[in-house]
Amino acid sequence: MDNKLIFRLKEFYTLEILQVAFYEAQANSATDEYYKKAFEKIVGTEQGHVDYFADKIVQANEKVPSVAGSVFQLAGSVVGETMEFVGKYNTCMFGVALENKATEMYRTFIDETNIKNYVKIKDTLFKNLLDEEFHAYWLRDYATKHPNA
Ligand SMILES: [Fe+2]
Ligand SMILES: [Fe+2]
């Protein structure tokens, strides 16, 4: 495995860790049953993404990166804005921004695997990309339907 690919696997591992942490915090603090279930479901999917990249890193005899500092600050720096935790609307819209960033990163990674012909990785990247898109659609839809939440 070349260094560039290892770099990407670690980068995506960190991205997915941030997503798990963000959604888990929302699921834990939510009181609305439907909203809570939605975030728990997203956490499950993101954890699957984390596990995939962790496995790949270990298979390459590399160390899984440790995510230091506040994950929320890191998530904010990924999105390029401060995380707003006031209400469901802001939370969902921050989630949309995070998912959009993840989607953009997945598309870049997929383009790279096209050049290098990493068929197996590419297959999973496409599945993950679609998961992130579904998350973004749900979050945006919820925010649109609950503008004052
Ligand atoms: Fe993810
Ligand atoms: Fe996601």
Residue 108, classified by CB atoms within 10 Å of its CB into exposed (0-12), middle (13-18) or buried (19+), is exposed
Q: What is the Å distance from ligand 2's center to 32 Cα?
A: 20
Confidence of residue 58 (pLDDT cuts 50, 70, 90): very high
Q: How far is the CA of 46 from the centre of ligand 2 (A)?
A: 6
Per-residue pLDDT tens over the stretch 84-134: 667 899 999 999 999 999 999 999 999 998 877 788 899 999 999 999 999
Task: Tell the residue number behind the tokens 């909203």, with chain if given.
Answer: 35
pTM of the model: 0.92
Ligand closest to Cα of 42 equals 2
Contact 61, 121 (CB under 8 A): no
Surface-to-core class of residue 148, CB atoms within 10 Å of its CB (0-12 exposed, 13-18 middle, 19+ buried): exposed
pLDDT tens per residue, range 19-35: 999 999 999 999 999 99
In eight-state DSSP terms, residue 118 is -
Calculate how far, in angstroms, residue 63's C-alpha sits from the geometric centre of ligand 1: 20
3-145 folds as Ferritin (1.20.1260)
Task: Please give the C-alpha separations between residue 58 and each of 9, 64, 118, 126, 128, in angstroms, as whole numbers.
Answer: 10, 7, 18, 21, 19
Cβ atoms within 10 Å of 126's Cβ, excluding its own: 14
Exposed / middle / buried, residue 69 (Cβ in 10 Å: 0-12, 13-18, 19+) = exposed
Quote the ligand 1 centre to 128 CA distance (angstroms).
6
**What type of residue is 30?**
A
Identify the pLDDT of residue 85. 64
